[in-house]
Structure 1
Amino acid sequence: MANRTWLITGVSSGFGRAMTSQLLAQGQTVIGTVRNIQKVQDLVEQYPQTFISKTLDVTNIANIHQLMEKLTQDYQIDVLVNNAGYGLFGAAEELSDAEVDRIIATDLTGSIQMVRAILPSMRAQGHGRLIQISSYGGQVAFPGNSMYHAAKFGIEGFMEAVAQEVAGFNIGVTIVEPGGARTEFRYGSAQVAKMMPAYEGNPAHAFQRMLDPANGLAPGDPQRMASRIIESVDQDPAPLRLVLGSQALQSTIDTLEKRVADFKRQTALAASTDFPAGE
């Protein structure tokens, strides 16, 4: 692998931590953002020359632009990995306004602003790779996870459009869609809304079984997933989507096939709203 400088958000745990550890072990340079520097102090001490830790809350847009202005002056950043994010579970009615605002600010707006802030420097240097950690939940929706899906469906549309905008500048875009993995995302950082008795027994509360490790662990290995993400940077052209996990891939294929079949059944209806030929 060529020597690169990577900027990864949310490196204290999960895919961010796994990718950072692997990259540093390979001799790569990583700028890692966290909200609490103490959580990566071991990496700071182990890799003083190649690991640069920065404090950042991606919900603070002003801080994003301030940090990115400084970083792009001091470093040539070859790869941006938008990894910071979390899951929020509960029926839509159960979520508070603050919970809705926060997950959109973290999982959607924060990633959008990181991309916008780094594009000028990547255009100027004539190359770059944008990696967006999404989820197969950016294609497949489950009850009790509405706002997470809102953020992931949204960021996938944004990144797919940006990929077309920046291809001419030698900037590649990859949307990563992992399935369930044994990370803190599922077994530590997941947030749950205040549940209402009205939804007891409702599919919106099925997530409770999934979040309990006693019911079986997720199949995905975060270390293997991190390796596949890292390897994708050497692919040219960049893969637009990278689905990680056999269950995630099958669920995505099943969902998309049903969606296409539904669209095809609407052929006559769609045509019925056009002006007649010649008018």
Structure 2
Amino acid sequence: MENANTWLITGVSSGFGNEMTRQLLKAGKTVIGTVRSTDKVAELIERYPDTFDCVILDVTDVAAVHSVVNAAFDRHGVIDVVVSNAGYGLFGAAEELSDADIDKIIATDLTGSIQVIRTALPHLRAQGRGRIIQVSSYGGQVAFAANSLYHACKFGIEGFCESVAQEVAKFGIGVTIVEPGGARTEFRYGSAHVADLMPEYDHVHGFLNMLDPSKGLAAGDPAKMAARMIESVDTEPAPLRQVYGSQALRDTIARLEERVADYRTQTELAASTDIPEGE
């Protein structure tokens, strides 16, 4: 998409959102970036007073999402790219999670993303163009033990975005779901939430090693991943999915091939539930 000069990005205080914001501002673009606190972006606010529009937003507050997104379009007129990025990881077996754990991650990673996109759609439709980038994970295609609610959110937002992409293509709006693998961001080494663990589930607590930097760092480079996200808007038509990370792509392909192979064994089972033609 030519001349993608104004970007709205949720969750820019750390991780991919912060890296994208830095790269875009350095390139002379305008970024409306949402944060829950300005502490981690004070330096950007000072350095880019004319092009960094920093806004306080907790995406779990639906009314605030509507207000902030609508106001951003009112202030800037045209927003070329909306990046739904805000989110965090939740680790623990299903039985280990509290009701509050479940409600919070769904409100953040699933409902929050849905509401950001829904609120932006009428504005993008009126413009007759625009891009939506949803930051998902290869965990939106591949599920691992002790990550059930995170996967529920990512599988859910991917289904939402795949449907929305079909609804809005005629309006000149493209939708891209990005599926990063493990990266050296605060998502893994700072913001991830771990449930109250139970000894009965010690067999699925291997993720604790993944969250410990002393046990080895993830292979993904956040700066390179952010750059690929930014570059994705130049591809026409919009790519529906992009996977970042060699291991993530290998695991995704393997899991999809397993799934297809299993479905292919069910031909007779599926047909056995049909009403015969003509009856």
Partner of 2:245: 245
- Please show how residues 23-102 of structure 1 align to structure 2 within 5 Å: 23-75=24-76, 76-102=78-104
Shift of 1:197: 1.7
The residue type paired with residue 221 of structure 1 is D
Contact 2:4 2:81 in 1 (8 A): no
Partner of 1:182: 184
Shift of 1:3: 4.7
* 1:5 matches 2:6: yes
Distance 1:70 1:208 in 2: 41
Contact 2:90 2:192 in 1 (8 A): yes
Distance 1:74 1:224 in 2: 31
Aligned mate of 1:146, from 145, 148, 151: 148
Structure 1 residues without counterparts, runs of 5 or longer? none
Q: Tell me, what secondary structure is at the counterpart of 2:88?
A: coil
Partner of 1:277: 277
* 1:127 matches 2:129: yes
Shift of 1:189: 0.3
Identity of aligned residues (%): 67
Shift of 1:38: 2.0
TM-score, normalised via structure 2 length: 0.98
Note the alpha carbon deviations across 1:129-171, whole angstroms, 9 max, x for none.
0000000000000000000000000000000000000000000
- For these two proteins, the number of residue pairs brought into alignment is 277
The residue type paired with residue 159 of structure 1 is C
Contact 2:136 2:178 in 1 (8 A): yes
Partner of 2:105: 103
Distance 1:179 1:166 in 2: 28
* 1:257 matches 2:257: yes
Note the alpha carbon deviations across 1:184-234, whole angstroms, 9 max, x for none.
00000000000112112x12x111111111221000000000000000001
Structure 2 residues without counterparts, runs of 5 or longer? none
The residue type paired with residue 139 of structure 1 is Q
TM-score, normalised via structure 1 length: 0.98
Q: What is the RMSD computed on CA atoms of the aligned residues?
A: 0.8
The residue type paired with residue 15 of structure 2 is G
Contact 2:174 2:237 in 1 (8 A): yes
Contact 2:24 2:30 in 1 (8 A): yes
Distance 2:248 2:224 in 1: 15
